[in-house]
Amino acid sequence: MTNKRISNRITTHHSTDRSWAIHHGDIYNVLPTLPPVTFDGVFCDPPYGLNFMGHNWDGSVPPATVFQGLLRLCKPGAYLLVFGAPKTFHRLACNIEDAGWEIRDTLCWLYGDGFPKGKNIGQTLGERWGNYHTLLKPAWEPIILAMKPVDGTFVKNVTNYGCGGLNIGDCRIGTTCYTKRSHQAPSPMLADGTDKGRHPANLILNERAAALLDEQYGTSRSRRSRRRKAGSNVGNGKTLNAFRSRMDVVEGYGDEGGASRFFYCAKANRKERKGNAHPTVKPLALCEYLARLIIQPKRETPRRLLVPFSGSGSEMIGALSAGWDHVTGIEKDDQFVATARQRLFKAKDEYTRPA
């Protein structure tokens, strides 16, 4: 580990193998020191603007100027993933868009076991107001997915800059059976499918939400997989007209279970929170999944991810586990930087890089 003094307000901590670095300083001072058009993606859990537990750092969401600074550092086609809060993510999204990013989607992380933090009016005013409260129970968090506008077409951008696509193939969820083949218009044929699972959705569940969903939804079974020979009629009962397949196909998923089998991620466990004073620790499995979603194909040059507001390092660890070649964090809190460094050095022996 080496420390390098950039200015009297910024210190950079490197890993021994140079796979990660943390710039210890205020983001407004750090961003101008980083080279432009360097990063292939950004992944962060910024302040939500809720004054969480009275912390000053959570007084407001990052302004558009911060996201303008991040935009300058990214290649065209780079993706941005940002955690938010239901009450304030609209302001976060506006600032991201005003900075020049394109909003591509909003993912929902549904956890279902939050605790209502408002006031029970009845405790003050008595029985008449006994069933009245000031807030609903929090049960989900939005995750904004944005992208730096591509330069020309997606194909041209990917060719020139090496980024611009979502890693759908490595984020499929659910089944190991062949999925139903999709029609390829205008030719009345079916295309081959995949045995790697279902297309990932913009909804992610934790174990509590998954259990509640399965309890309400019950068990369902997809139609049994069956192989159809090339030239046979397929699509009967599912399309207006039958189609002839141009190849042998397998229809149906052939799996069963509750609805939660399609998208699942547990909350941060005790092991991940041990010795970690950060109040909003994200689960490593969730961070790894999201970081994998925006990683680009392996190439000769390093794939670089920027993690502003890196906190205690969960997003950085998840990104390294997902296969990012180099991860750069930015954090100004002394305690969080120390915790992140400790976790990253410990995690080095645990995360494995995909081939």
85-99 pLDDT tens trace: 999 999 999 999 999
CB contact burial 193-227 (16+ within 10 A = b; e otherwise): eeebbbebeeebbbbbbbebbbeeeeeeebeebee
Residue owning tokens 């302040």: 47
Options 3.40.50.300, 3.90.1820.10, 3.40.50.150, 3.50.30.10; CATH for 2-170+264-347 is 3.40.50.150
Q: How far apart are CA 79 and CA 35, in angstroms?
A: 18
Residues of the chain with CATH 3.40.50.150: 2-170+264-347
State residue 105's pLDDT score: 98
Q: What is the mean pLDDT of residues 304-328?
A: 96
H-run or E-run covering 343: helix 334-347
Q: What is the dihedral of CA 65, 96, 308, 304, to 10 degrees?
A: -110
More confident residue, 214 or 117: 117
- Say which range, 7-11, 77-81, 100-104, 220-224, has the weakest mean pLDDT: 220-224
The neighbour count for residue 94, using CB atoms within 10 Å, is 13
Do residues 74 and 39 touch, judged by C-beta distance below 8 A? yes
Q: Which class for 29: exposed (0-12), middle (13-18), buried (19 or more C-beta within 10 A)?
A: middle
Check the CA dihedral 124-125-130-135 and report its sign. Answer: negative
**Which pLDDT belongs to residue 31?**
97
Give mean pLDDT, residues 187-199: 54
Cβ neighbours, 10 Å, residue 160: 15
Return the minimum-mean-pLDDT range out of 79-88, 310-319, 339-348. Answer: 339-348
Q: Whole-model pTM?
A: 0.78
- Pairing type for strands 304-308 and 326-331 reads parallel
Ranked by mean pLDDT, the top range of 90-94, 139-143, 178-182, 242-246 is: 90-94
Structure tokens at 53: 């537990």
Which residues pair with residue 308 across a beta bridge?
Answer: 330
Q: Please determine, for residue 170, whether its predicted confidence score (pLDDT) is greater than 60.
A: yes
Confidence of residue 29 (pLDDT cuts 50, 70, 90): very high
Query: Of 159-173, 187-201, 224-238, where does mean pLDDT reach its minimum?
Result: 224-238
Per the prediction, the chain carries an average pLDDT of 79
Q: Which of 174, 194, 196, 204 is nearest to 289 (CA)?
A: 204
Helix boundaries (H) for 108-229: 122-125, 154-161, 207-217
What pLDDT is recorded for position 233? 58
**H/E element, 290:** helix 284-293
pLDDT at 115: 74
pLDDT attached to residue 275: 55
Is residue 278 scored above 80 in pLDDT? no
Half-sphere exposure in the Cβ direction for 269 (13 Å, CA): 6
> pLDDT tens digits for 56-74?
655 689 999 999 999 999 9
**pLDDT tens track for 40-59:** 999 999 999 876 555 565 56
Considering only residues 23 and 216, tell me which one the structure prediction assigns the higher pLDDT: 23
